[in-house]
Every structure is written in structure tokens, then in C-alpha cells.
Amino acid sequence: MTSSQLTQAMVVCRKELTDWSRDRRSIMTVLISSLLAPAIIGFMFTNLASRQRQVEDITVPVIGAANAPALVEWLTQQPGIAIVAGPADPEEAVRTRREDVIVVIPDDFAKNFAASTPAQVRLISDGSSQNNRPKVQRVRALFLRYGNEIGSLRLIGRGINPVVASPVQIEDVEVSSAQQRAAMILGFIPLFVMIAAFTGAMSISTDSTAGERERGSLEALLVNPAPRGAIAGGKWLAGTATAMLSVLVTGGLLVALFQYIPLQDLGIKFVLGPAQLVGTLAVVLPLCPLIAAIQMYLATFAKSFKEAQSYLSFLMMAQMVPGMMATMNTMPTKAWMYYVPWIGQQSLLTDVLGNKPIHPLVFTVVTVTNLVIAVIVIRATAGLLVREKIIFGR
């Protein structure tokens, strides 16, 4: 592209950005897409941490406490555990969510316990309730620990070392860092950042192509003595700018948000600071030109703004598939995947968040690959703008 064509492209870019800034709906789309990820992540982790803190101090209703006084006494000695009498109908109480979990100790508990046979304890809970699950798990863990302690004491009483009951001992040797393990758990964060880039570019990409075609202003623009490549390039630069703006806002809000999310209450050691933000931007920003280019190419075929949005909705769903597969850890990471758009960004972002060392050449190759493909797509879009069917067809 010559300097003259670049100047013309910048004029078109300024025109599209000016039109975009005057459209409140477009600005709201970028703002909402930028705020979506921080809002969802903040609400989700704050809620999980709150539920986890509630497990620290819980009240356990027990029916038949007199049948196992030693067990009940042991439970009351555990930190944060309070024992109260259970209701007359425990199953109904749990079913109606008046209680989260109820312990029922049968009448034959003491007899079976004294005979060294398994003494049954019933835990009544509702597995369909997500809010109750941490509390139920803690109560279950307490009974398992009590059973292990009693089992060890029985073996010692018979002159047997409790170690003989564990013929195989497993020693875990973890080679990954806490940050890397947390990055796998938080693998959905890259997906949200990439969605922000997609939605940030969508307004200009659809309005500057299908929108102008529907309004009939595309013909007036193409009458100007400017090459089709300069016109398509200007619109592409405008879409790229809004996509990058959305990514910058989302990334900045996520970094600020993670300073306040109590991840330590969930047992997660994760740092999202300036280093991770720079790495994230180095991965996602080069993808913005490609996203805007593909959106423009598809929207050029649409006869109306709504039709273009339908096309891009399917494209957005296709973009989410690799991210969802990576989040569920169903897609193994290979070296060649780094250089495939969308898939590569997902893999690279997981490594960046996990503080894995990445050679700078990888970032360079990924950037060049995305830009080259974007330029090819924009040239194809410019070729569409010379077709009468595209210009005049409505």
C-alpha cells in the first residue's frame, strides 16, 4: 500500500470511528463486552469464596446422639463444629432446604462399634444443591477421619502397627508450580478475553459493510476516487481499534479485580499482575486484526445488518469451541497449535497465565501469522467491493 493509499485508509478509519462514537448502541456493546468477563468472574469467585468461608463454622443436626456419645464428643472438639438435635423428619427437612445435612446415628451403633464390626452412620443431604456441597463434604470428611483414627487405635490395641494396613505408600512429586496449576483451573479466562476482542470489533465490522449496504451509503462511499483496498483497509483499521480497546479494558479490569478476589479461601494460589497482563496483550492484540478482517469479509455478503449479525453469531460459536475444549482439558497442547489462530491464542494464554517460559520468537511468529492472514482476508474483501451484486444487491 502506497503512502497515498495509507492516507486514504486513515481517512476512512477516522470516518468509521467517528460514526461509531456517535452510536450509543455500539459504544454500549463494547462496554458490555469489556465488563462481561470481570463481572462474571468476580461474582463467581466471590460467591465460591463466601460459600467456602461458611463451611468454617457449621452447625450439624444429629439424630441419635445418645447412641454414640464418644463420637459426638469428638465432633464437638473439632474447630467450627456445633452439634444440635436433629428434626423429627430429617428427610423432609433436607428436602425443603431447612437443613443442609443431617446425621442419623442408628440404635445399633454402639453394639456394632463394640463388636468391631462396621457401625453405620447415615448422612442425609440433597446432592442437587450446589450451595450445600462444601458443608456435606466437610461433614463426610470428619466421619472418615474419625473412622481412620479408631481403626488405627484398634490395630495398636492388638499389637499391630497401623502401617501394615497401608502396604503401598504414594509420594507425590509435583513438578508444576502453583501458578501453573491455577492457570489450568482458571482456563476460562482466556476465552472471555478473546470474546471481548470479537464483540469489540463486531459493531464496526457489521455497520461499515452490511449496515452501509442496507442504508445505501456504500455506493456513495465507493464513488470517491479511492482504491477499494484503501476503503476496506480503513474500515478494517477501525474495527481493529475497537477490538483492541475492548481487550485493553477487559485486561485492565481483570488485573484490578484479581487484587480483591479472595482466591486463598479456595486454596488457589494465583497472581494476575502486570507481567501476566503484558503477556496476555501480546497474545490477544495480534488476533484483533484477524478477527476484524474475517468479520468484515463475512458481513460484506450480508444484505442487512441483522443478517450480518446472524453470520457473525455462528462465527462466534465456532470461536468458542476450541476455548471450551481447552477449558475442559480435552485438547492436548502441541507445538504447532501455537501458530493456529484462536487455538494458538488459547494455548498461549494458558501458558502466560501459568508463568511458563515462552520464547519471544513464538510471539513474533504468531503476530506475523495473524497479520498475514488478516491482510489476505482484507484483500479478498476489497475484491468483493468491485462486484455489482455486492454493491447494489439488497
Q: Does residue 263 lie in a domain region?
A: yes
> Are 119 and 219 members of one domain?
no
> Are 205 and 339 members of one domain?
yes
Q: What is the pLDDT of residue 43?
A: 78
Residue 38 confidence class, pLDDT cut points 50, 70, 90: confident
> Are 147 and 190 members of one domain?
no
> Are 13 and 79 members of one domain?
no
Q: What is the pLDDT of residue 376?
A: 92
Residue-wise pLDDT for 332-354, tens only, equals 566 667 777 777 777 787 788 77
Q: Does residue 50 lie in a domain region?
A: no
What is the C-alpha to C-alpha distance for residues 359 and 10, in angstroms, rounded to an integer? 34
Q: What is the pLDDT of residue 266?
A: 63
317 or 144: which leads in pLDDT: 144
128 or 323: which leads in pLDDT: 128
> Are 69 and 17 members of one domain?
no
Give the angle 83-88-89 at the CA atoms, nearest 5°: 110
Please identify, among 173, 202, 232, the residue that sits at the C-terminal boundary of a domain.
173
Place of cell 464483540: 199
> Are 37 and 108 members of one domain?
no
Which residue segment(s) compose the domain that 315 sits in?
A: 3-42+179-392
Residue-wise pLDDT for 352-381, tens only, equals 877 788 888 888 888 898 899 999 999 898
What is the C-alpha to C-alpha distance for residues 381 and 81, in angstroms, rounded to an integer? 67
Q: What is the pLDDT of residue 393?
A: 59
Q: Does residue 281 lie in a domain region?
A: yes
Q: What is the pLDDT of residue 358?
A: 80
Q: Does residue 186 lie in a domain region?
A: yes
> Are 72 and 117 members of one domain?
yes
What is the C-alpha to C-alpha distance for residues 338 and 340, in angstroms, rounded to an integer? 6
What is the C-alpha to C-alpha distance for residues 300 and 295, in angstroms, rounded to an integer? 9
> Are 208 and 317 members of one domain?
yes
Q: What is the pLDDT of residue 104?
A: 92
Please identify, among 173, 205, 235, the residue that sits at the C-terminal boundary of a domain.
173
Q: Does residue 290 lie in a domain region?
A: yes
Q: Does residue 47 lie in a domain region?
A: no
DSSP 46-110: HHHHHHHHHHHSEEEEEE-GGG-HHHHHHHHTSTTEEEEEPPSSHHHHHHTTS-SEEEE--TTHH
Residue-wise pLDDT for 194-235, tens only, equals 888 888 888 888 888 877 777 777 766 777 777 888 888 888
Residue 255 confidence class, pLDDT cut points 50, 70, 90: confident
Q: What is the pLDDT of residue 74?
A: 92
Q: Does residue 137 lie in a domain region?
A: yes
What is the C-alpha to C-alpha distance for residues 389 and 217, in angstroms, rounded to an integer? 15
Residue 329 confidence class, pLDDT cut points 50, 70, 90: low
- Whole-angstrom CA distances from 51 to 197, 265, 375 are 32, 10, 49
What is the C-alpha to C-alpha distance for residues 194 and 341, in angstroms, rounded to an integer? 11
Q: What is the pLDDT of residue 183?
A: 65
The phi-psi region of residue 64 (left if phi > 0; otherwise alpha if psi is between -120 and 50; otherwise beta) is left
Please identify, among 129, 154, 173, the residue that sits at the C-terminal boundary of a domain.
173
> Are 213 and 337 members of one domain?
yes
Domain count of the fold of the chain: 2
User: If you average pLDDT over every residue of the chain, what do you get?
Assistant: 80
Q: Does residue 377 lie in a domain region?
A: yes
Residue-wise pLDDT for 160-205, tens only, equals 887 777 777 777 776 766 666 666 666 677 777 888 888 888 888 8
CATH number, domain with residue 74: 3.40.1710.10
- Does the structure show a pLDDT above 80 at 130? no
Angle between helices 360-384 and 274-284 (to 10 degrees): 40
Place of cell 477516522: 14
User: Poorest-confidence range of 132-136, 253-257, 266-270?
Assistant: 266-270
Residue 21 confidence class, pLDDT cut points 50, 70, 90: confident
> Are 228 and 151 members of one domain?
no
Q: What are φ and ψ of residue 160, in 5° steps?
A: -115, 130
Q: What is the mean pLDDT of residues 65-71?
A: 90
- Does the structure show a pLDDT above 80 at 41? no
Q: What is the mean pLDDT of residues 113-132?
A: 84
Strand partners, 82: 59
- Does the structure show a pLDDT above 80 at 122? yes
> Are 141 and 115 members of one domain?
yes
> Are 253 and 370 members of one domain?
yes
Residue-wise pLDDT for 76-116, tens only, equals 998 888 889 988 898 998 888 888 889 999 989 888 888 88
